[in-house]
Amino acid sequence: MTEDQAPVESPSEDQLKADAALASFSRALSELVGADAVLASESSGDVHWVRVSIDHWHAAAGAARDAGFLYFSFLSAMDWLPNPELNGEKVFDPAHEPKAQVVVTDQVVRRAGGGSRFQVIARVANPDTNAALILTADLADDLTAPTWTHVYAGADWHERETKEMFGIDFAGHGGLRPIYLSAEFVGHPLRKDFALASRIVKPWPGLVDMEEMPKVENDEQGSDQ
């Protein structure tokens, strides 16, 4: 079930090949877990953004590999907590509790949609056709996803990194040890509610320059040549 099949006036040969890649992935996935496994998808060029259910996360990896996406590019996560305090414009205030309920419905930002605070995201590609799949899945409150290491061996380190940066567990991974940070480190740095200590100690020096700038909406003049 696809929400957005990019309407192409005259599909080029590359475009046809890319669409075939997505079709073969969808077919492989529906063979594994049944129809309607693809919750949403959108395409731009030969990159396909596909959202699946977290229960089908492991099957999606297998289907992608079977469909020729042999190359593992990366696996990571997204924290969609809206936190304007961390947007570079203000200093994060630890006393200010972030909102409990999270509603981010902006489909432009969330390619292929989704509604949970945390999403896992992974990219695989086909080295022969250059088509790429960017798979996402919404995480439930237990923040656990099935591991990909049995399908793509390279997911091992990426899952370790995601675990320490976002606190997301990967069931079946074996050894989710920290990879960058020391074992004593507390917290998950890439979460949006993790305050950057240096921003608390000292306000952003770049902030001063930003506010001095004219705040004209129709500032159409180009940069200085």
Partner 1 sequence: MKAGYDERRAADYMNSQLVDGRVNLELVDDDGMVLNLGPQHPATHGTLRIVVKLDGERVVWAEPVCGYMHRGYEKLAEVRTYPQVNTLLNRIDWLGSFCNEVPFIQAVEQLLEVEAPERAQWIRTVLFELGRIANLMVFLGDMGMQLGAITPPFLAFRDREHVLDLIESATGGRFHPYYNRVGGIKEDLPKGWIADVLATMPRVRRFCDEMEEMLANNEIFRSRTRGVGVIRKDLALSYGMSGANARASGIDWDLRRDTPSPMAWKHAKFNVAVSADADSFARYWVRLVEVRESTSIIEQLLTNLPAGPIQAKVRKIIKVPPGATYVETENPLGQMGYYVVSNDGLSPYRVKIRTPSFNNISVLPAVLPGENVSDLITIISSLYFILGDVDK
List of residues contacting partner 1 (CB under 8 A): 45, 47, 70-74, 76, 78-79, 82, 86-89, 106, 108-111, 121, 123, 127, 130, 132, 134, 151-154, 156-157, 165, 175, 177-184, 189-190, 194, 196, 199, 204, 206, 210, 213, 219-223, 225
**Between 30 and 178, whose beta carbon lies closer to partner 1?**
178
At position 198, the amino acid (one-letter code) is S
Closest contact distance (angstroms) between CB of 30 and partner 1 is 24
The neighbour count for residue 5, using CB atoms within 10 Å, is 11
Closest contact distance (angstroms) between CB of 103 and partner 1 is 14
Closest contact distance (angstroms) between CB of 113 and partner 1 is 12
**Between 52 and 86, whose beta carbon lies closer to partner 1?**
86
Closest contact distance (angstroms) between CB of 97 and partner 1 is 20
**Between 20 and 30, whose beta carbon lies closer to partner 1?**
20
Beta strand pairing status for 118-125 and 132-138? antiparallel
Dihedral of alpha carbons 32, 71, 168, 98, sign: negative
Contact 201, 208 (CB under 8 A): no
Q: Which residues contact 56 (CB under 8 A, 6 or more apart)?
A: 29, 32, 33, 37, 137
Closest contact distance (angstroms) between CB of 150 and partner 1 is 10
**In b/e form, how buried is each residue of 29-39, taking b as 16+ CB within 10 angstroms?**
beeebeeebbb
**Between 32 and 179, whose beta carbon lies closer to partner 1?**
179
Q: What is the dihedral of CA 85, 88, 90, 95, to 10 degrees?
A: 40
**Between 137 and 165, whose beta carbon lies closer to partner 1?**
165
Helix H, strand E, coil C: the string for 96-121 is CCCCCCCCCCCCCCCCCCCCCCEEEE
